[in-house]
Amino acid sequence: MSDVPAHGRHPAVELLMDADRMCQYVARSTWPSGLDQTVEDLVSEADASWPSPSPGTVEGQLHDRIAVLYLRRYIREGREQDLVSAVERYERLYGKPSGPPAEALLGQAGTLLLPVPEEAAPEAVDAAAALFEAGADFATNDDERRTALRNAVALREQRYRRTGDLDDLRTLVAACERAARDEPADGEHTPGTTAMLGWCLARLRERTGDPAHGRAALASWEEAYRLAERGAPLWNKVVADAFNEAVAVWGGRGRAGDRRLVARWGVRAARVGSHDELYPVEYHAAVMSRQASPGALRDAARMMRATALASPPGSGERARRDLNVLSIRDDLWKIGGRQADVDAVIADARALLSDTRGVPADSLHTVTGLLAERLRQRHRSRPSSADLDEAVNLLDTMLAMQRPEDREPLLRELALSIRDRIDLGPTVAESRELARICSRWAHSIDEEDNRRQWMAWTGVQFMRIAQRNGGLGDLEAAITHLNLAVQGADPSWPGYAAAAGSLGYVLSMRFDLIGFPAVADLVRAQRWYEEAARSLPRGSHDRLTALMGVLAAVERLTRYRPHRDEVDDLAGGLSQELSSADEGDPKTPRLLLSLAELLERRHLRTGRAETLDEAVKYARRAVSRVHPATRDEYRQFDEPVMLYVLARLLNRRFEAGSRPEDRAAAMAALRRATLEGLRGNLKWGWEAARWWAGLAADAEDWKQATRAAGLSLRAAQRLYAEQPAAAAREFWLSQTLHVAADAAEIYVRAGDPRAAVTALERGRSVLSSAVLAVTSVDLDRLKRADAGLYARFVMAADAWMEAVAEDRAHPPTPDSGQVSFTIDLVSMRGLPGGDASGTPVTSIEEIHALSRRFAGARADGVGQAEVALTRVVNEVKSRRGFAGLFRAVRDSDLWRAAADAPLLYLSAGLGGGVGLLVPPSPGTRRSTALDVRLHPLPGLTREVVAELYAEFRHAYEQRHADAGNWPAVLGKVTGVLGELILGPMLDELGRHEKVRLVVTGHLGLLPVHASWVPDPTATTGRRYLLDVTTPSYALNARTVAFTREAAARRPAGPMLVVGEPGPAGKEERLVWSATETALVHGLGPDGEVVSAQEATRKAVTELIARYPVVHFNCHGRSEPSRPLDSALALADGPLRLRDLLKIRLPGARLAVLSACETATTGAELPDEVVGLAGGLIQAGVAGVVASAWAVPGRSTALLMARFHEGLSSGGLSPAESLRKAQRWVRDSTNGQKCDYLRDGSSLPEAAARRLWRSYALEEPIGRDVCDPVEWAAFALVGD
């Protein structure tokens, strides 16, 4: 080492510092011209002082900096001598530069160099790059090595841009590949390096035409895309360049892998590109879609979908691209048929129709048809009623928006969708809605044959509904549409024969339901069957079916006209044609059955046993030909009928010859008919179940009998539920009136009283229970659980109740509400004018009017509201704590209803009656069977009840003509009821302080609460039911829970008193009305009186909603045959039950109807309790006091005074207060009544004085009002 100066600082340090400053300067700026001399001076002094430096010393560092300065000037100015001088300097310092150490030193020098300026010579750039590459592998750390490689790439790129030489490009690619390999997976510079490699490879593909270089470029760009920052300029450029390169490599017809790369980069380009940059992606997607292969279409759809999503919503470009996507995906589904592809088509079409902005009108038409078609085709591979419903509703909506000339394709698709939906087995309500859609568009078709075809098809749909549910309204719709199809049609029209035959069939069906009043339908049915037969080729099954219809109509008409020869001739010709029929045709069973019925009627006429045997043979052949694979439209409707007819024939043969096997076979046929009928033909399923139960009970086969009874009850309930309007539902309730009682009788005989109670409960107050089930939902709890669901439920419930009330309240006709069943027999072929009894006759139009009544003027509104409510109810039931809503009655419901007082079900049967008492129970012991106490009432038959009611009603209606007979008959009827009911149950009833009566059937039309048995010890010589216990009436167990909870929530409060309105019109004045009004109002804590002219319907209906207690003191009128017209007389007209059904009284505790006949209910549907009292319960009142007959004014005023006094000051419940008041009025003498009225401090003085004067004139020890006419009319319904 050289000497160090005295001051301690090495002489080379100053020079080294100068060299460092010069290196730093040239690193920041260009090489200045004045710097050359400074470098030369530095070199001269270093060489002179330290010619042979050693590595690691200060002198060595100085020589190293001098070499760096040479290299920098070489790179900056390209002087070859500088490179030579730098290398010589390194040789002097380290020795000859060979091997790794020398490369490392060169690389180390290269890491200090800056990027080469554009002005540098290509050789200088190349040399600098070589220096960077030479030492990259021997850098002291990774960062230095990667920096060297990046610098080399930058220099190689510069050289290529300067020369454009292919060899320089290949050298650049090699440099990029080496740099990319050395980059870390997530390094900061990696995306740029890999992106550079991609660009270089792409240029190499352009120069050489080798697609392998393009694929390599795309692979490099894929890595850059993965690592680059989303949205950065580099990322966007990579995407754009990669898409273009992928297109170039693919060339529109290349390999599948290349096409997939185009799709991948096209989707990315669409996501990041500008509006104008979307068009190339869209164009190449369209090009790709022309390659009719699943892969190409799938890739094209992806690209087109990406361009659509990148387009502005609602724009024309977005709509066009969405339509292109739909078209491509639909082509893909057509080629591949995959489920996922049709799902995608459906999803795309739905999206287009959900936002139609920018979509041309003709395209909407096309998309709608396509969506409906694909929904229907998806259904075929994966059956779904939801898909078909959507298709139908969509087409129905879109058709309304189309011009008539554009509807044909959509109508065709609508017909196919509806057909498939019907084949899937919709509910009656769904079928009816489908048929109504068909009807709507059938009327809109201009082309005649097409319109007739639609009319006929629509009529057949309504016919099928009527076959399932026996609905007259549906039959009327079927007849109307089939009439429109055939009237004026040319017999050569292809659908003429089928439509005419169907019309004949539905006319026959209507005759079956209505009977003789619709006999004109048989004449018309015969005519249309003949028309169908004339239009069909001889020997065809359709012709045979039509001829069978002709024969059946003529055979039935022989009851009204003696044309036996015509029947026999028809039968002979038909038998010959039938012999050549194809046994395998699905319509053959119908023909065989018709022949069997023909033979049955001949047997009834001739009595020949062999004719009946032949009928059984044909019926069995008919049943055996109904194969399980037969189309549902034949099997569902026909099989129950065939089995029923077979059972009827077998039973006839059993009765004629007492062969046990025939009875067993008949029961087996009825069992099958029941089960098949429940699936598709409810009317015949119900008929079969009812008869099956009766036969099994006669045979004392209780297992079969109870099962059949339960199925009969289920079929009856479904028949009711599936009717579209209130009138139709009431019709079927009347047809199935005794089903519940018959089932209960069978259960009792089978030793199962609990099932008997359940059966009676299911048959009681069906109409009212549905409304009460809705109104009794705990809305507060539902609101806390789900406020949104609460709001939807309230809206749906209100809409449904309003629709039901409107439907029930709507009068069927402007006058009496009935249609006369009278037919113009004179106009019929060969029939005499009228029948032997002089039956009045009118026109066939009245039959249509009757059927329209059953169709329901507001049936559409009720049906739609019911569907909406059902949907919300199902959602409510899915919530925790609401699962028990709207379910069938259970033991727990009966336990709860009988928690405070027993329920006594009274039912009259064919062979005797029964009393079923459900005693009080806490209702919590779910593991314990329901306790039901059975009390046989052998004398309580339906026949006896019918006779009692007829006598009771006749005497009441004739009370003005024969005043003395009415009290006598009332006493007799109530005495017989006491003998039949009260006597056998006296001990049981005496154990309970109160009892709720659920009286079923026509027994409910009689005053059971006033029944009595002789008792010499009693004041009146009679012991009445209310002397034994406190009775009240209940609609059913469900309403008990509602009324009891309502009574507990609503304490008695202010009372509204409606006094006798005036003027009373034709009604006579109520002499004691003012007295009763004053007495009752004076006993109330607060309240209001409305009377005379103020008591209008509007005023009263508004006021009764404000008061918890309402007392009506006015005229009342019952209409047992038209219970909805039962009314309370007000100042401006009657307040009818049909008006009360529209009112909601959620806060009403008690309504007192101190008027005549306010407890009377409809005689046609006694189990529905359709009357003023039941209507108020349905409106929400907890309890109603009402009268069963016209009541005397004086005794009623006194009774009501005692009743309200017990409520206000006695602390009694309504039932207890009414019982106490009735017993007091009955048992007290005239003198005791005077004492009460004179001394009773709680009564208004003036009113009490007037009443006192009337009794003061009577014999003091007399009991002038002990007759039940005076005091027993009133009863409590509810709580």
When mean pLDDT is compared across 130-144, 841-855, 873-887, the lowest value belongs to: 841-855
Compute the 3-state secondary structure of the chain and give helix, strand, coil in percent, each to the nearest 5: 65, 5, 30
Residue by residue, DSSP assigns 938-1001 as TT-BHHHHHHHHHHHHHHHHTTTTSTTHHHHHHHHHHHHHIIIIIHHHHHHHHT-SEEEEEE-G
Residue 1 has pLDDT above 50, yes or no: no
Cα–Cα distance, 1056 to 1059 (Å, whole number): 10
- Residue 1057 is inside which H or E element, if any? strand 1055-1061
Top-ranked range on mean pLDDT: pick from 532-541, 568-577, 932-941: 932-941
Identify the pLDDT of residue 864: 63
Q: Are residues 1263 and 1131 in the same domain?
A: yes
Q: Are residues 1061 and 1198 in the same domain?
A: yes
Residue 374 has pLDDT above 50, yes or no: yes
Omega cis (within 30) before 1063: yes
Say which amino acid occupies 277.
E
Q: Are residues 873 and 893 in the same domain?
A: no
Question: If you count them, how many residues does the chain have?
Answer: 1279
pLDDT in tens, 280-332: 888 888 888 888 788 888 888 888 888 888 888 888 888 888 888 888 888 88
Identify the pLDDT of residue 828: 30
Cα–Cα distance, 1224 to 1228 (Å, whole number): 6
When mean pLDDT is compared across 104-118, 198-212, 761-775, 1187-1201, the lowest value belongs to: 104-118
Say which amino acid occupies 420.
D
- Mean pLDDT over 483-505 rounds to 87
> Which residues touch 688 (CB under 8 Å, ≥6 apart)?
640, 643, 644, 647, 670, 671, 673, 674, 677
User: Rounded to whole angstroms, what are the CA distances from 472 to 478, 682, 730, 852, 857?
Assistant: 10, 14, 12, 8, 13
Residue 1005 has pLDDT above 80, yes or no: yes
Identify the pLDDT of residue 328: 85
Residue 503 has pLDDT above 80, yes or no: yes
Identify the pLDDT of residue 947: 92
Both tokens assigned to 1212: 């009694």
Decide if 799 is inside a domain. Answer: yes
Q: Are residues 1062 and 1128 in the same domain?
A: yes
Say which amino acid occupies 338.
R
Higher pLDDT, 430 or 804: 430
Domain span holding position 1176: 1055-1278
Residue 277 has pLDDT above 60, yes or no: yes
Q: Are residues 801 and 833 in the same domain?
A: yes
Single out the residue in 976, 1001, 1033 at which a domain terminates.
1033
Say which amino acid occupies 534.
R
Cα–Cα distance, 445 to 405 (Å, whole number): 9
Closest CA to 1151 of 1125, 1118, 1174, 1123: 1174
Both tokens assigned to 609: 């046993």
pLDDT in tens, 61-107: 787 778 777 777 776 676 767 767 776 777 777 665 444 444 545 55
Cα–Cα distance, 72 to 91 (Å, whole number): 18
Top-ranked range on mean pLDDT: pick from 24-38, 494-508, 713-727, 847-861: 494-508
Using an 8 Å Cβ cutoff, are 115 and 155 in contact? Answer: yes
Q: How confident is the model at residue 877 (pLDDT cuts 50, 70, 90)?
A: low
Higher pLDDT, 127 or 1212: 1212
Decide if 1115 is inside a domain. Answer: yes
Q: What is the mean pLDDT of the chain?
A: 77
Please tell me the total count of domains within the chain.
4
> Which residues touch 342 (CB under 8 Å, ≥6 apart)?
333, 374, 377, 378, 381
Decide if 106 is inside a domain. Answer: no
Q: Are residues 896 and 851 in the same domain?
A: no
Single out the residue in 424, 452, 478 at which a domain terminates.
424
Cα–Cα distance, 211 to 246 (Å, whole number): 10
Decide if 1012 is inside a domain. Answer: yes
Higher pLDDT, 856 or 308: 308
Identify the pLDDT of residue 211: 86
Decide if 162 is inside a domain. Answer: no
> Which residues touch 296 (CB under 8 Å, ≥6 apart)?
259, 288, 289
Angle at which helices 519-534 and 541-557 cross, to 10° = 150
Identify the pLDDT of residue 99: 42
> Which residues touch 233 (CB under 8 Å, ≥6 apart)?
none
Q: How confident is the model at residue 858 (pLDDT cuts 50, 70, 90)?
A: very low
Identify the pLDDT of residue 985: 92
When mean pLDDT is compared across 396-400, 414-418, 624-628, 1239-1243, the lowest value belongs to: 624-628
Percent of the chain clearing pLDDT 90 (strictly above): 6
- Mean pLDDT over 842-870 rounds to 49
User: Rounded to whole angstroms, what are the CA distances from 1275 to 766, 943, 1162, 1187, 1207?
Assistant: 22, 26, 17, 6, 15
Residue 1073 has pLDDT above 70, yes or no: yes
Higher pLDDT, 1135 or 865: 1135
- Residue 472 is inside which H or E element, if any? helix 472-486
The dihedral region occupied by 1117, where left means phi > 0, alpha psi between -120 and 50, and beta the remainder, is beta
Using an 8 Å Cβ cutoff, are 974 and 1010 in contact? Answer: yes
Q: Are residues 958 and 999 in the same domain?
A: yes
Class of residue 20 by CB neighbours under 10 A (exposed 0-12, middle 13-18, buried 19+): middle
Single out the residue in 380, 400, 424 at which a domain terminates.
424
Q: Are residues 793 and 859 in the same domain?
A: yes
- Mean pLDDT over 852-872 rounds to 55
Residue 8 has pLDDT above 50, yes or no: no
Cα–Cα distance, 1279 to 1184 (Å, whole number): 8
Higher pLDDT, 6 or 465: 465
Closest CA to 293 of 283, 282, 301: 301
> Which residues touch 1016 (CB under 8 Å, ≥6 apart)?
none
Q: Which residues of 1216-1251 are buried (b: 16+ CB within 10 A; e: fewer)?
A: bbbbbbbbbbbbbbbeebbebbeebeebbeebbebb
Decide if 1028 is inside a domain. Answer: yes
Identify the pLDDT of residue 815: 33
Higher pLDDT, 104 or 683: 683
Decide if 736 is inside a domain. Answer: no
Other C-beta atoms closer than 10 Å to the C-beta of 780 total: 9
Say which amino acid occupies 1250.
R
Q: Residue 1262 sits in a domain of what CATH number?
A: 3.40.50
Other C-beta atoms closer than 10 Å to the C-beta of 470 total: 25
- Residue 105 sits at the vertex; the CA angle it makes with 104 and 111, to the nearest 5 degrees, is 85
Higher pLDDT, 64 or 918: 918
Decide if 235 is inside a domain. Answer: no
Strand partners, 906: 915, 999
Q: Are residues 1140 and 992 in the same domain?
A: no
Using an 8 Å Cβ cutoff, are 959 and 988 in contact? Answer: no
Higher pLDDT, 368 or 25: 368
Using an 8 Å Cβ cutoff, are 590 and 548 in contact? Answer: yes
Q: Are residues 1103 and 1223 in the same domain?
A: yes
Using an 8 Å Cβ cutoff, are 321 and 266 in contact? Answer: no
Q: Are residues 1065 and 985 in the same domain?
A: no
Both tokens assigned to 1038: 């469900």
pTM to 2 decimal places: 0.63
Q: Are residues 865 and 992 in the same domain?
A: no
Three-state DSSP state, 1258: coil
